């Protein structure tokens, strides 16, 4: 896929972060631009771990450092459509998610990744999720 195509896909993609992930990102000084980079990589097929069922793990670098020792984000992801950042952790704090968490994320993905525009708007109004704007979206 060309980078031009990836940009087009990202413009059509809606990206959200859960209230819990937002707190994690704020505490760790992870800018929304880093989240957009992680989703762009996923759109280009650069996925760090694919758990199936729309659940992926992406690495996010620490400010001024590389990705290997940085953060991990669990994203509910449907290419070209939706991405929900639902869990974040530092590699130094947690090696991976456990089987129970993986099942819970897959169950959540089944519900969220088929959301209508009205349901997405309701999620935003509930303040359980906030929208991340990428590529100059408004």
Q: Is the pTM of this model over 0.95?
A: no
| 61 part of a folded domain | yes
| 73 part of a folded domain | yes
| 103 part of a folded domain | yes
The predicted structure's pLDDT at residue 119: 95
The range of the structural domain enclosing residue 70 comes to 3-127
| 137 part of a folded domain | no
Integer Cα distance of 42 and 78 in angstroms: 10
| 136 part of a folded domain | no
Do the beta carbons of residue 97 and residue 74 sit within 8 Å?
A: yes
* Longest pairwise C-alpha distance within the chain: 39
pLDDT tens profile 90-99: 877 877 889 9
| 132 part of a folded domain | no
Bridge partners, 89 (sequence order): 72
Residue whose pair of structure tokens reads 């303040």 in the numeric block: 127
Positive or negative, the CA dihedral 93, 95, 98, 102 is positive
| 135 part of a folded domain | no
| 89 part of a folded domain | yes
pLDDT tens profile 24-78: 999 999 999 999 999 999 999 999 999 999 999 999 987 766 666 689 999 999 9
């Amino acid at each position: 896929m060309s980078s031009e195509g990836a940009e087009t896909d990202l413009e059509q993609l809606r990206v959200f972060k859960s209230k819990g992930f937002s707190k994690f990102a704020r505490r760790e000084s992870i800018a929304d631009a880093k989240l957009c980079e992680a989703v762009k990589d996923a759109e280009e097929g650069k996925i760090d771990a694919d758990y199936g069922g729309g659940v992926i793990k992406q690495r996010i670098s620490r400010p001024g450092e590389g990705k290997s020792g940085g953060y991990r984000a669990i994203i509910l992801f449907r290419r070209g459509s939706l991405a929900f950042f639902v869990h974040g952790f530092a590699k130094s704090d947690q090696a991976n998610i456990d089987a129970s968490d993986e099942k819970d994320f897959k169950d959540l993905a089944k519900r969220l990744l088929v959301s209508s525009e009205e349901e997405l708007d309701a999620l935003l109004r509930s303040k359980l999720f906030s929208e991340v704007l990428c590529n100059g979206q408004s």
